[in-house]
Structure formats: structure tokens, C-alpha cells
Amino acid sequence: MTDHVLEENSPELSMYIMLHQMGEAYGMLPSQLLAEGSTLDLVVFDAVMSYRQHQERKRGAPNEPPQNKPGDDNMKDAIHRMRSKG
């Protein structure tokens, strides 16, 4: 375990959440995604999730506040930091 505290809406927390969701969707561990995945994988996954949320909102799903997404540069920096720790 780590004593590192993740701040709400931080790029690191967003990355952890995305890795978890991708792992569930693709049946892979987050470490496998970091080792084998590419930026394209992240872009495709993010596009699909955004499209699904858009479709749910169109169907009248309960209003959820939009997620604060970090910019591409922040996400790339967070991924680089995670890979450097491994």
C-alpha cells in the first residue's frame, strides 16, 4: 500500500479510474495495460465511454455532472510517472 493521497479530480486519480475501467472491459490487469497498451488504446476507450455517456443522457438517464477530464498532456505525464515507478 501507499501513503500517497490522491486528490479528487486529479490527473492521477482519473488515470487510475480509467485503468480500472479498461482492465474490467478488456480483462487485463492495470500493470498489463501500462506495459502493453498504447495511447491509441486510451483514446479509443475514452471515446467509447464518452459516447456511451452521451447516449445515456440522450435517453434521459439521470443527469450526472460532467467528469473533469485532465488534458492529454497531464494524462501522458501521469502515465509516464506511473511507468517510472514500476
Largest Cα separation within the chain, whole Å, is: 42
Sequence-ordered list of residues with C-beta below 8 angstroms from that of 12, at least 6 positions apart, any chain = 6, 78, 81, 82
- 70 or 22, higher pLDDT: 22
Cβ atoms 41, 25 nearer than 8 A:
no
pTM: 0.55
Per residue in 46-81, pLDDT tens? Answer: 888 889 888 888 888 555 555 556 667 777 777 777
Question: Is 42's pLDDT higher than 70?
Answer: yes
How far is Cα 64 from Cα 78, in angstroms, rounded to an integer?
Answer: 26
Average pLDDT over residues 8-28: 86
- C-alpha 2: how far from its chain's center? 20
- 29 or 62, higher pLDDT: 29
| 10: its cell numbers | 486529479
Instruction: Say what the pLDDT of residue 18 is.
Output: 85
